[in-house]
Every structure is written in structure tokens, then in C-alpha cells.
Amino acid sequence: MRASRSSIGPIAHAPSTRAIAYRGMTAPSQYNTMDQVTEPTALPFDYNDVVFRHGTEAHGLDYSILRDEYRDVHPMVADRFAAAGTSPILDMGCGPTTLGALLDERGASWVGLDAAIRRLRRGAGPRVLGAATRSPFRDETFGGVAALYMLYHFPDPFVPISEAFRVLRPGGLFAACAPSRFDEPELAPFLPPQPPETFDAETAPGLLSRLFDVAGVDSWDMFLYRLPDRQAAWNYLVSRGATPDVAEAAARAVDYPLWLTKRGSVVWGRKAAG
């Protein structure tokens, strides 16, 4: 297994201290930690809900301090697929086809696959409704497969990872990404105890290496979101699972702007050639 580490995009100017004043709140006392579940748990599939996650589509990105073209991993992933010349590319769990639009700009052919009709309707381009556990494609169809921010929805993410392996040609490239289990440490005092997810930046290299040669790990660990005021903090905390009451108390207790540290990785896998 070969792995390299690098950073994604430029680190925009960020404050030099991580100290947050939790005025009048002592953490982590807001929830009953006796209820804590430690078994890895799949995130719920809520993408066909009429009101998707409290009505906000990309609440986090609204607060990103990076320039538009660096807002998330998609441009970097599209660049690497295009540079490798590994088309066509299957985007598993493509959602509203963010990656597909960037692949179009780079002249790489692709097809999206998603299990949520509401998400597919928000996208454009070639896309198929279906499950990533049993895709409708023949063996060795694709030169690249992406699974961005989606493997944590599976009780056993090795099932869609195996499906990616099956549809990839020998020598093909697989990209999977997820946040770290240590993402957004500043919010931990205010969120209910969360079990680890079934797929995260910590488990990704090991899981991929069961089938692939790990061909790189692009990680980020930086102040990335800036919550400007109380309303922004309340919205964000509720979208992350805080109760409205705790969000209200927390939003009153912190100083603004509130900076959030984002952590995660894109892990690249290569299917052995022949």
C-alpha cells in the first residue's frame, strides 16, 4: 500500500487561536452521555425528504471562507480524474451532479448514479436512479469511480466499495471522501453524543486497501467555516442535530465570529492493472 498526504486548496487567512469562550456553559453537559452509542452507525438516508435537513441545502458551504472554486473537494477530484484520462467516470451517489458539471468543463465523460430521485432532479447530464450496492453497469465499464460523501450511508461500506471495484477497469482510479470523526471540534460540547460513522477519514484508507492500492490521501484540517452571528450558529447547530433549546443557549454563549475547524480526507484507490 502506498499513501501520500497533501492539503487541498489554499488555506485562506485564518485566526491563529482555537480558543472559544463558552460563556456560562460547561461542556459537555448538555446531553445525557450515558446514552452514547459507540458502534459505528450509518447516517440516515433522508435525501427524498420534502424539507431536506432543516430546509438548507448546503448550510456549511454558506460559511466557507475559501474562494468558490475551492469550496469543496470536487474541483480537485475532477482535476485528478481529467489528468489521469480515466474516463468514463461513474459518480456513485452523485446527488445534484456537482462533480459531473466539473468533469464536463474538463472534457471528461461521466454518468451519475443516485438512489434519491429528488437529488437527481436537481442535477443535469447523464444520470441513473439506482443503488450503489447493485449498480446497473457491466464489469470493468469505467476508468474512474467517485464516491464522495456517500459511503457513510451504508451499514457496510465495503459493499459499495466492492461494487466500485467490480465496474472499474484494471488500472482504474477510485476516489472516496468523508469527514474526519474529529471534524468541527468546536461544536462537540453542544451536539448530542454521536457514534462513529461507518465510513470516515480514519477508516477510509484501511477499507479501500482491502481491494485497491491506496494511491494517495488528500486531507484537510483547517479553519474553514466562519459563522458570523447568532442566527448562523443556531441554524448550523440545529442542522447538526442540536436541539433548538441547546442551540439557542450555545448561540448566546459563544463569541463571534465563530470559526469551525473542518477535517476530512479524499482517499484514492487504484485497481491493479491486469
Ligand X SMILES: C[S@@+](CC[C@H](N)C(=O)[O-])C[C@H]1O[C@@H](n2cnc3c(N)ncnc32)[C@H](O)[C@@H]1O
Does residue 45 belong to the site contacting ligand X (CB under 6 A)? yes
Residue 150 binds ligand X, judged by CB under 6 A: yes
Q: Which long-range contacts (CB under 8 A, 24 or more apart) does 113-119 make?
A: 114/47, 115/45, 115/47, 116/45, 116/47, 116/48, 117/48, 118/47, 118/48, 118/52, 119/47, 119/48, 119/94, 119/95
> Given the complex with ligand X, which of 199 and 259 has the nearer CB atom?
199
Query: CA–CA distance from 46 to each of 53, 117, 119, 176 (Å)?
Result: 8, 11, 10, 20
Q: Is 149 in the site for ligand X (CB under 6 A)?
A: yes
Query: Residue 119 or 270: which CB sits closer to ligand X?
Result: 119
Q: Determine the size of the site formed for ligand X (CB under 6 A).
A: 18
Of 57 and 229, nearer to ligand X (C-beta) is 57
47 binds ligand X (CB under 6 A): yes
| Strand 89-92 relative to strand 110-114, pairing | parallel
Contact at 8 Å (CB) between 163 and 133? yes
**Least distance CB 262 / ligand X (angstroms):** 14
Nearer to ligand X, 157 or 189 (CB): 157
In the bound state with ligand X, the residue whose beta carbon lies nearer, of 150 and 204, is 150
- State the minimum distance, in angstroms, from the CB of residue 273 to ligand X: 27
Q: How long, in residues, is the chain? A: 274
* CA-to-CA separations, 148 to 56, 69, 89, 152, 174, in angstroms, rounded: 19, 17, 13, 10, 10
Query: What does the per-residue mask of binding to ligand X show for 108-147, with x meaning CB under 6 A?
Result: -----xxxx--x-----------xxx--------------
148 in contact with ligand X (CB under 6 A): yes
**Residues in contact with ligand X by the rule CB under 6 A:** 45, 47, 93-95, 98, 113-116, 119, 131-133, 148-150, 153
